[in-house]
Amino acid sequence: MSDLPFHGNEKFSTDTSVAERQQKDPKEIARRYQLQLCEKAKEENIIVYLETGCGKTLIAVLLIQEFAKAIKKPGRNVCVFLAPTVPLVEQQADVIRSHSNFKVGRYYGDAKHSSKAHQDWIEELEKYEVLVMTPDILLHNLHHCFMKMELIELLIFDECHHAQKRHPYAQIMREFFKKERGKCPRIFGMTASPIMGKGGSNQVEYAKGINSLEQLLDAKVYTVVDRSELESFVPSPITNVWYYNKKNCLEYESIVSCQKKFDECKQKHICLVFSCCNGKNMEICKHDVKGNMKKTKTITRLYGELMYCLDELGLWGAKQAVKMQLDDMVGSTNANDDNAENHVTNAFLRDSLLILDPYVEDAFEEPFFSSKVKALVEILSQYRNRKDMKCIVFVKRIITARLLTKMINHVQLLPVWRCEFLVGCHSGMKEMSRAKMNKIVDKFRSGEFNLLVATNVAEEGLDIQTCCLVVRFDLPNTVASFIQSRGRARMQESGYIFLVERGNLSQEKRVEHFIDGEEQMRREVQNRSPDGAEQYEEEEDQIYRVNATDATISTGCCVSLLHHFCSKLSKDEYFIPVPEYFYFEEPGGVICR
């Protein structure tokens, strides 16, 4: 893949010759249910609802081939394949190229930084037959009339459950599909969960969620009714709950003492932020209220992370969290700057380390390691003798991913597990680039690592090899998250395990809601009436159209355009142009100008 210089941060692929590809005819490897769903997609707009690993992308490739005559060059029409993340764009483009003769372009990055965009996109449309891109790129091009919906023969939405509220998927359909003055493309959606909810809703709420998605995408949801063939190719993991005993922190004097001292440390440093010591008197510093509030938020955030680590991971985890934060400051480009916020952060962390030092030992027991961490080690120990052992542990916080990785590599009880953590490249960690993410995934695939501790970045959007074990160290937030993370465990006799605190009825109910929610969704899709779906009123955006160019902007996208305009204005260290908003109360509500 090479970058065209005139498109700024957008990435464009170069096309390899057909002879260089080792193609496999998708029709020869397609399963019966994939061929049946493709036939249905030829007849009408559909959304394919299948779990992760069941071959939804292959159905999309089969469908693209059905549109080959309409999109082959030198014709003007194209297929647009939308994927919500950059790794998914790259992954899906590779799949299409490996299974077809189509000329495939891939596009992602900040659409608003491209220059000479109109002519460049004319050339791209003349060159490529299938354009795989993030939805922001297509939305930007449609707004500026660089592309027109009437030129798109087939529009594919990967992970289409994101099509809601102000997501670009939803904006594309609301603004350009139903209101386009020319013909509309065939719509094909793919999802492992047609709704994004937390589970536990009744059948009516699931029906409403599915109906809303169908209405927005102008498509019907289909799934596999007879699951025997599906299960023979893609076995489902055995789902279990592993209970751990959450000890009362009052049982450990060291935990209680640390908590008390952390509280005192936080209050001390917040007071220091707002006070200037002249040796005898304390004067409130009023000259930098905004800066002081920022420092206070930093201290509060660090305190919250320390208390979280102390509770979830134990004393050892809390100490390692402090050391990691200090190491991150040393590695930061601003660490040596005369920066007041850095000094405040450094002082708070060093005091916290002094608090923890007397209490922490390396012994693998409570309170140095929490009962939850010990439960994870027990689970991993049970799977250590499998020949095909590969595992993903899902967590919510970046700090948890880093600390568990260090702990697993540190504990001598688990020498067979070679661990690395995986977080998103937009997580705030400067060293976690997209290239490093891909490198970690490649090493996991090759077996150099056999255990990943990952945030939700590993649920969708990365081509991660199937595992024999998936552990939810932290419970998922939504039914979609549950289904997608479980889909990573697709080996024979694989396991999917929730870590649940014994006696915590809230956690137990959430797990039940996830499992019941998936069954309710499947039942709703299988039993729905072809014409009985209830319609819902959607709030329509106002559209402003430039008659001379046919370019448009909606109320949903105008704020980002204002910020982009301001970013192009002259600025210096004393003035950074940003939009100013004014609010007026009127009979119909509050108006923002």
pLDDT score of 107: 93
Share of the chain above pLDDT 70, in %: 85
**pLDDT above 80: residue 416:** yes
pLDDT range class, residue 116, cuts 50, 70, 90 = low
**pLDDT above 80: residue 5:** no
Closest by alpha carbon to 65, among 79, 44, 55? Answer: 79
Tell me if 62 sits within 8 A of 27, measured CB to CB: yes
**pLDDT above 70: residue 224:** yes
Q: What is the pTM of this model?
A: 0.83
Share of the chain above pLDDT 90, in %: 44
Give the mean model confidence (pLDDT) for residues 322-331.
84
pLDDT range class, residue 20, cuts 50, 70, 90 = very low
pLDDT score of 339: 65
**pLDDT above 50: residue 151:** yes
Residue 473, CA distances (Å) to 162, 380, 423 in order: 25, 12, 15
Specify which of 66-75, 273-282, 343-352 reaches the highest per-range mean pLDDT.
Answer: 66-75
pLDDT score of 13: 44
pLDDT range class, residue 277, cuts 50, 70, 90 = very low
Distance CA 158, CA 83 (A): 5
User: What is the per-residue pLDDT across 362-387, written as a single tens digit (0 to 9) for each?
Assistant: 778 888 899 999 999 999 998 887 77
Coil, strand, or helix at residue 48? Answer: strand
Which of the pair, 344 or 354, is modelled with greater confidence? 354
pLDDT range class, residue 242, cuts 50, 70, 90 = very high
Lowest mean per-residue pLDDT among 331-340, 472-481, 565-574: 331-340
**pLDDT above 50: residue 12:** no
Q: What is the largest CA-CA distance in the chain?
A: 85
Length of the chain: 593
pLDDT score of 209: 87
pLDDT range class, residue 163, cuts 50, 70, 90 = very high
User: What is the per-residue pLDDT across 431-455, written as a single tens digit (0 to 9) for each?
Assistant: 788 888 889 999 998 889 999 999 9
Which of the pair, 484 or 339, is modelled with greater confidence? 484
pLDDT score of 543: 84
**pLDDT above 60: residue 562:** yes
Record the tokens describing residue 568, joined without a space: 């192009």
Backbone φ and ψ for 178, nearest 5 degrees, come out as -80, -15
**Mind giving me the DSSP string for 224-271?**
-S--HHHHHHSPPPEEEEEEE----GGG-HHHHHHHHHHHHHHHHHHH
**pLDDT above 90: residue 25:** no
User: What is the per-residue pLDDT across 228-239, written as a single tens digit (0 to 9) for each?
Assistant: 888 888 888 999
Give the mean model confidence (pLDDT) for residues 566-589.
87
pLDDT score of 3: 34
Give the mean model confidence (pLDDT) for residues 249-257.
77
Lowest mean per-residue pLDDT among 195-209, 404-418, 433-447: 195-209
pLDDT score of 534: 62
Coil, strand, or helix at residue 396? Answer: coil
**pLDDT above 70: residue 193:** yes
Record the tokens describing residue 437, joined without a space: 């993410």
Backbone φ and ψ for 12, nearest 5 degrees, come out as -125, 140
Backbone φ and ψ for 49, nearest 5 degrees, come out as -110, 100
pLDDT range class, residue 201, cuts 50, 70, 90 = low
pLDDT score of 427: 65
User: What is the per-residue pLDDT across 280-299, written as a single tens digit (0 to 9) for each?
Assistant: 344 445 456 777 888 899 99
Alpha helical stretches, state H, 332-414? 340-356, 371-382, 398-410
Distance CA 555, CA 534 (A): 27
pLDDT score of 207: 85
The bridge status of strand 282-284 relative to strand 238-244 is unpaired
pLDDT range class, residue 558, cuts 50, 70, 90 = confident
pLDDT range class, residue 165, cuts 50, 70, 90 = confident
Which of the pair, 247 or 322, is modelled with greater confidence? 322
pLDDT range class, residue 251, cuts 50, 70, 90 = low
pLDDT score of 199: 57
Closest by alpha carbon to 59, among 232, 219, 170, 188? Answer: 188
What is the residue-averaged pLDDT of the chain?
Answer: 84
pLDDT range class, residue 19, cuts 50, 70, 90 = very low
pLDDT score of 198: 65
**pLDDT above 90: residue 334:** no
pLDDT range class, residue 330, cuts 50, 70, 90 = confident
pLDDT score of 179: 53
